[in-house]
């Protein structure tokens, strides 16, 4: 009799792109939070989460290396209840070192910051996805000075982790024109044209068509006056690889001007 122990393969995680909304979403009760709650009910518990947040911008890719990252309240003018929120998830310093090596293998120089915590682009959705805060979390920064192709390459370097039960999440926003948000009279048609252009290409897996989005998408500069909230999408697309299926999860709109779409990129069914 063969008594050798057999080990089940690690769970394959999907890759996510989330629009993280306003910090107010952390308090619940809106459509975006409901979208994440429905997603949370479907997700398998991962070994760790890699969050690529629009709210950490660096010239080179940097990873958080803290064993217990602090909760960063990187916003102002909101109710005091938001500043009292703590998301005490452990960090993943060993995984940060591994990712640094994975990036180096692809010719991408990266660093590790052992002091930085997790910002609201990470902890706002994570409070709903993993409310117990017991899944290790690390962040990877985005590089607004570099283009979509660079961020796809970042994601491609991370891709092996999805097969090792690591959840990779790009956390940004489908559109992010805060000036329009603040003026209170949004030019919704221009924003929607951009959102619909991107949405259609995501649903048919036309990643290459999105790479030159800033030149080709309608109203691109209006939808994203600065690029940092769109770049996490490209990391997610790179991590999803070539053979994936796109699922739109919903999310709605923030004040009728910020499109808050969320997507799951999973393995395509074999015919």
**Interatomic CA distance for residues 66 and 171, integer angstroms:** 20
135 closest CA partner among 69, 85, 39, 81: 69
Domain at 15-267, CATH from 3.30.420.40, 3.40.830.10, 1.10.150.300, 3.40.1400.10: 3.40.830.10
56 closest CA partner among 223, 228, 198, 189: 228
First to last CA, the chain: 37
* H-assigned helices in the chain: 31-40, 80-83, 93-105, 120-129, 148-158, 178-183, 188-203, 207-210, 213-216, 220-223, 231-240
Dihedral of CA atoms 106, 52, 220, 176 in degrees, nearest 10, equals -170
Domain ranges of the chain: 15-267
pTM of the model: 0.94
Secondary structure (3-state) at 49: strand
Contact 240, 168 (CB under 8 A): no
3-state helix, strand, coil in the chain (%, to 5): 40, 20, 40
Report residue 140 as tokens: 């990877």
**Interatomic CA distance for residues 161 and 181, integer angstroms:** 36
Report residue 93 as tokens: 């310093």
* Per-residue pLDDT of the chain in tens (271 residues, 90 and over written 9): 333 333 345 789 999 999 999 899 999 889 999 999 999 999 999 999 999 999 999 999 999 999 999 999 999 999 999 999 999 999 999 999 999 999 999 999 999 999 999 999 999 999 999 999 999 999 999 999 999 999 999 999 999 999 999 999 999 999 999 888 787 666 788 999 999 999 999 999 888 889 999 999 999 999 999 999 999 999 999 999 988 999 999 999 988 889 999 999 998 766 4
- The pLDDT assigned to 29 comes to 87
**DSSP letters spanning 213-238:** HHHHSTTHHHH-SSSTTTHHHHHHHH
Total residue count of the chain as it appears in this document:
271
Contact 109, 202 (CB under 8 A): no
């Amino acid at each position: 009799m063969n008594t050798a122990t057999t080990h089940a393969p690690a769970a394959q995680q999907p890759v996510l792109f989330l629009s993280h909304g306003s910090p107010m979403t952390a308090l619940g009760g809106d459509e975006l939070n409901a979208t994440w709650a429905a997603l949370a009910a479907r997700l398998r518990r991962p070994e760790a989460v890699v969050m690529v947040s629009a709210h950490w911008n660096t010239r080179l890719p940097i990873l958080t290396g803290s064993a217990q990252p602090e909760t960063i309240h990187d916003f102002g003018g909101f109710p005091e209840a938001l500043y009292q929120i703590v998301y005490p998830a452990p960090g993943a310093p060993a995984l940060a070192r591994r990712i640094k090596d994975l990036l180096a293998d692809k010719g991408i120089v990266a660093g590790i910051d052992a002091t930085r915590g997790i910002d609201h682009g990470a902890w706002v959705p994570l409070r709903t996805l993993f409310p117990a805060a017991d899944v290790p979390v690390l962040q990877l920064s985005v590089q607004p000075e570099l283009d979509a192709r660079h961020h796809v390459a970042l994601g491609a370097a991370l891709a092996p982790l999805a097969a090792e039960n690591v959840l990779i999440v790009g956390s940004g926003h489908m559109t992010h024109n805060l000036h329009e948000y603040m003026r209170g009279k949004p030019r919704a048609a221009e924003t929607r044209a951009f959102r619909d252009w991107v949405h259609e290409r995501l649903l048919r897996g036309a990643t290459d068509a999105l790479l030159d989005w800033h030149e080709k998408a309608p109203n691109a500069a209006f939808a994203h006056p600065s690029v940092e909230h769109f770049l996490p999408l490209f990391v997610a697309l790179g991590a999803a690889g070539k053979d994936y299926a796109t699922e739109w999860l919903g999310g709605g709109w923030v004040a009728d001007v910020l499109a808050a779409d969320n997507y799951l990129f999973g393995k395509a069914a074999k015919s």
